[in-house]
Structure 1
């Protein structure tokens, strides 16, 4: 057993991280998922944390796909997925020059502006339901693919496009599950090519994987029982938390704190 896997501190950080990410994967939005890598980074490097979590994310995606089967908007996926694949390719090509701090800060600021616009519309009683748009969907899909590859932060760009569509909560969640299952599966190829996986990291992933289905199904159970009048305000609050977390992490990364 490697020193990492025999260190109790690793499990004190890794177990809560996996549980939070699993709840998020079940449908709770990206706020808790964003805590996964930083929490695990308390005991390993951020790059190693991301590599350990990615196979676990794949397992969570499989569980989510089963739990949300039958809930999928093909129109949203057909619009956003081609852009996402382009975004992943750009992230792979620029992996050596793009900093995670810049990506997190920019995505955080855009997401905060998105939340503030919704909040002002909500206060004014004029929340608009957006229609599908291939140019907008392709753009935000590309941003989601890029930020997911570079910083595991693809959720906010996806939400910027998909939340204003005002879909039934189960349809929205099921579609996002399919979207990110495909994105994470595609990311495996460049992650292997960049040497992100080794025996120690994969062993750590295997030890933690049994927690993945339990946490994911718990998230599914709660979201399936939420009414739209509760779901959408909840999701927008999650968007606000995500934006503030990304801005915080981006500033700290860039300042070297």
Structure 2
């Protein structure tokens, strides 16, 4: 697990940085990480490597924005998200790793499409605050987060549809992913067996990269035009996802 080439170590460090950046307001950048880790570790194994990194990074968002969470929206989403997690848990047991990587790639493409669509519709009241919308977004997001840790754009669409102010948006999303990721942790250990002492040791070694990414993300948000940066993220992510299909 720890015997990587120099290039792989560089990629892992950058992946940790991107996760840290994504938790401080750099949207979409963590999408790059999912296909890169799947290429290095394999589809299913990569989810166990990535989850503790996400959990460590979640605390950056919760630590700063915890007071702004809107818990009424969390209670609407969480039960349905757990249903999606359960479905994904079963799917992960019945497909081989090649199909697992293909599913991850497909989810990445879907989420990239949702990100682009969200940007075009961000000022529109395009969905009502109804139970079926929360249920569909919750199940789809729960499935996506368990299979590939790529549920960010799905839940972002739901929260944007509720017209939450920026701080409430970030705080609600931060708490949601902290809770849902913590619930996935024992499932990865006991059922999928994708988390063990070696993967946890690797994740802890990448903690400085997460912290550096968080600080770098704050600086980048101020310096780089949002459209330019998001275009770069989307292009690199799509190319990485295509590599999973080769």
TM-score where L is the length of structure 2 = 0.80
Q: CA deviation at 1:77?
A: 0.8
| Equivalent pair of 2:114/2:153 in contact (CA under 8 Å) | no
Q: Distance in 2 between matches of 1:56 and 1:189?
A: 15
- Per-residue Cα deviation, 1:186-241 (whole angstroms, up to 9, x for no partner): 11011012110233222211211233234235546777x8xxxxxxx959x95996
Q: Name whichever of 101-110 and 187-196 sits farther off.
A: 101-110
Tell me the CA shift for residue 89 of structure 1.
1.1
Q: Counterpart of 1:206?
A: 204
1:139 aligns with 2:136: yes
The structure with the greater share of residues assigned to helix is 2
- Computed over aligned residues only, the root mean square deviation of the Cα atoms, in angstroms, reads 3.4
Shift of 1:106: 5.4
Corresponding position of 2:76: 79
Distance 1:83 1:134 in 2: 10
Shift in Å, 1:128: 2.6
Q: Which runs of 5+ in 2 are unaligned?
A: none
Measure, in 1, the Cα distance between the counterparts of 2:9 and 2:83: 36
Q: Is the contact between residue 111 and residue 150 of structure 2 (CA under 8 Å) also seen in structure 1?
A: no
Counterpart pick for 1:95 among 92, 95, 119: 92
Which residue of structure 1 aligns with residue 195 of structure 2? 197
TM-score normalised per structure 1: 0.77
Q: Deviations over 1:81-121 (max 9, x none)?
A: 111111111111221235442354256347626744762x6
Query: Aligned pair in 2 of structure 1 residues 108, 207: CA closer, same or farther (>3 Å)?
Result: same
Matching of residue 108 in structure 1 with residue 109 in structure 2: yes
1:173 equivalent in structure 2: 170
Aligned partners of 2:232 and 2:11: how far apart in 1?
A: 25
Structure 1 residues 176-187: aligned runs within 5 Å: 176-187=173-184
- Provide the secondary structure at the position in 2 that maps to 1:210: helix
